[in-house]
Amino acid sequence: MNQVALITGGGGGIGGAVAHRMAAGGITVVIADYDGGAAERVKSEIAASGGKADALAIDVTVAREVKAVVTDVAKRYGRVDILANIAGGSGYTKRIEEFTWAQWKEVMDANLKGTFLMCREVAPIMQKQKSGRIINTASNYGVTGSALRTPYAAAKAGIITFTKSLALELAPDFVLANTVAPGPTDTPRVMEKESMEARKQRWWPQIPLGRTALPQDLAEMYYFLTTPESAAITGQTFHVNGGVVMP
């Protein structure tokens, strides 16, 4: 029986790469993204490669949408084996005194609240199954902090501790929860704002491996956390950043 993975942010750079990698590994992927068109595009790419995929539009910050999507997936496939929470991000770079409460809450909701809502709906399904893998997404900034990105760093730090707590809570039912923390990664969204030459000058000297990550580099870590080889790993944070952060 094929595993079923629900991937939020699956239409984005990292999320799309994760969806492709899991589908290549024989997993049926449900791509859930705020941008329904992007989710459909990734679905079509996977189908063209012979994989099994579905696409849904979702705003992970809206509880009723999260509940509806998770209920639909569980009814359609009869189970949810993997939840990869990749939706998130931050559109603000400013000093703390310049943040409005609405902007702060927007960033916290997109990252921490969305992760919580998805886990809240999926966890009981996995507990009933007595199996499941939850993979949440943090950032190197969730460990180091980041000037001018205070709400984003705070949200990602919250995800790390939330996931540890979730791992302890779900372990008796054989549900594993881990976090992947990307570092500087060459996603399409990032590359629209900054050329590769600019990224080389800005980031590469700071990274021990001498390069920024590719979405595929991250996808391999997410996929590993779905495999039998990771069956004894829970409550951990995996940094994929070329050595720029070594906590």
Active site residues: 152
**What gap in Å lies between CA 140 and CA 35, rounded to an integer?**
25
Pick the closest to residue 22 from 242, 234, 239, 221 (CA basis): 221
Bridging pattern class, strands 28-33 and 175-182:
unpaired
Q: Sign of dihedral through CA atoms 109, 186, 38, 162?
A: negative
* Amino acid code (one letter) for 191: M
- SS3 at position 180: strand
| H-only helix segments in the chain | 13-24, 36-48, 63-77, 101-108, 114-129, 141-144, 150-170, 188-193, 196-202, 215-224
